[in-house]
Amino acid sequence: MRGMGSACNALAAEAARGHLPPVETIDQVEWRVSDGLVPYEEAHAFMEQRAAAIRAGEAAECVWLLEHPPLFTAGTSADPAELFNPSGFPVYDAGRGGRYTYHGPGQRVGYVMLDLEKRGRDVRRLVHSLEGWIIASLADLGVSAHRAEGRIGIWVGEGGEEAKIAALGIRIKRWVTLHGFSINVSPDLSHFGGIVPCGISEFGVTSLQALGKEMPMMRVDDSLKRSFPLFLKDLSQ
């Protein structure tokens, strides 16, 4: 019961700060959607606590949608030469795979905590399914997006106009997933100039807003929710 107490204490602390909204359930997975900007340290601590509780059978799987204040996260393959940071944003060691990633207002971040013990211990399937989920959600928003051979993330456009609109970064701890994805809705794209995003310098970064798709964050969330059951089905095949 010690793990349960720690998880509950973490939830209580987050709720007291106003960063954990009421729970919605989709296919037995808890969904939380936060208003305002959630400090990265608090989100990271919650993920760690929830992953441990999921592994112990003391908590349900969880998807948490939120926004962060401007910051950079460093994955396990991050190269310091790819961090410029002229604005002096905080930099956090995320512990996930990948390189440097930007998070900030106007970007929908989705943290995904799922139990791969019951959904299949297939990391490639997980990544492929996450990509498919984002692509399907963007299609619902009227944006045609795709995977790119040899490049992580989700892309729009062709040739010299191709640009990244969403990033992925996953960590798996005792077969429970942590971290997840980010979709550029209406962030300040100049902030991406503080890094080489995901180590890819040949292509730019874009957003729904830059593509002429002005919409509230709630609209993006609704598309993610509608596509979620198909993501779970694909993940479990």
CATH, residue 76: 3.30.930.10
Q: What average pLDDT does range 14-29 have in this prediction?
A: 70
Return the CA Rg of the chain: 17
Q: What average pLDDT does range 66-84 have in this prediction?
A: 95
What percentage of residues in the chain have a pLDDT greater than 90? 79
Q: How many domains is the chain built from?
A: 1
Examine the pLDDT at 3 and tell me if it is beyond 60: no
Q: Each residue of 88-117: b (16+ CB within 10 Å) or e?
A: ebebeebbbbbbbbbbbebbbbbbbbbbbe
Q: What average pLDDT does range 124-133 have in this prediction?
A: 97
Task: Give tens-digit pLDDT for 148-163.
Answer: 998 889 999 998 899 9
Q: Is 8 a catalytic residue?
A: no
Candidates 168, 152, 156, 130; CA nearest to 210 is 156
pLDDT of residue 216: 97
Examine the pLDDT at 191 and tell me if it is beyond 50: yes
Examine the pLDDT at 17 and tell me if it is beyond 60: no
pLDDT of residue 79: 94
Q: Which residue in the list 198, 208, 220, 235 is annotated as catalytic?
A: 198
Task: Give tens-digit pLDDT for 77-122.
Answer: 899 999 999 999 999 999 888 899 999 999 999 999 999 999 999 9
pLDDT of residue 20: 60
pLDDT of residue 10: 47
pLDDT of residue 1: 31
The mean pLDDT value of the chain amounts to 90
Q: How far is CA 103 from CA 39, 70, 120, 142, 195, in A?
A: 11, 6, 29, 23, 11
pLDDT of residue 4: 37
Burial tier of 206 (Cβ tally within 10 Å: 0-12, 13-18, 19+): buried
Rounded Cα distance, 214 and 154, in Å: 19
What is the maximum alpha-carbon separation in the chain?
Answer: 55
Examine the pLDDT at 180 and tell me if it is beyond 60: yes
Its pTM stands at: 0.90
Q: What average pLDDT does range 34-50 have in this prediction?
A: 95
- Dihedral pair phi/psi, residue 31, rounded to 5°: -120, 130
Q: Which domain holds residue 42?
A: 2-236
pLDDT of residue 22: 65
Question: In this structure, which amino acid lies at residue 60?
Answer: A
